[in-house]
Structure 1
Amino acid sequence: MAAVEGIYQIRTKKLIILSLQHLVDFDKKNCSCRGGSLNRVFDFIQKNRIIFEAVYPYMTKEGEFAVKENSPLLFIDGYTKVPENEDSLLKAVANQPVSAAINSICLPFRSYNRVYQIIS
């Protein structure tokens, strides 16, 4: 959502906050609060549009709440997957917000249990 909000601000000079609750409640293919896919989030916004946070606030639980008719909705034209290399990522972040995902299913990530802070 932050990437969509960011590109909207870059293009329009207006800062908005989009409704995470709308995504949680209506994007049934994306596992709701239990993880999900960036592609599916962008596909949902592209196909269905997304409502503003002020109209559909976050409620910390799942459930479809009433959406007023004529509520402002935002859509995106599309998105592009950045190739998995440093040069492509550097070019992408130089021009617009970028979303990143972590594959938390892989064994090294699941067995990670320590966080270290470097003190200089």
Structure 2
Amino acid sequence: MDYAYQFIIDNKGIDTEEDYPYQARQVLCKKDKLKRRVVTIDGYTDVPPNDEKKLLKAVAVQPVSVGICGSARAFQLYSKVELNDIRKY
């Protein structure tokens, strides 16, 4: 995620899904959208894994995104809608 955040900072923002809806093919750049910046950020902070106190502190002041390793066995074989404790896997 760091690369994505750094791109947004370096690019001085990003536009929207409405401006560039997903298409399963290569599309040309819409030059009229190049200067449009709907979302901007001025920085980001990484929170150490498994540190709930630091995560709660981060959530209190800014949006938080989370990366999950989907290759864990718990994700490959689960049958319920929610995973409560993947540590047992």
State TM-score, norm by structure 1: 0.51
> Which residue of the partner structure matches residue 40 of structure 2?
75
> What's the offset of the Cα at 1:82?
1.2
- When the two chains are superposed, the root-mean-square deviation of aligned CA atoms in Å is 2.6
More helix, by proportion: 1
> Which residue of the partner structure matches residue 61 of structure 1?
24
> Which residue of the partner structure matches residue 7 of structure 2?
44
Structure of larger gyration radius? 2
Q: 1:40 to 1:117 in 2, by over 3 A?
A: closer
> What's the offset of the Cα at 1:71?
3.7
Aligned length: 78
The share of aligned pairs that are identical, in percent, is: 31
Which stretches of structure 1, 4 residues or more, deviate above 6 A after TM superposition?
Answer: none
* Structure 1 unaligned spans of 5+: 1-37
- How far apart, in 1, do the equivalents of 2:74 and 2:80 lie? 15
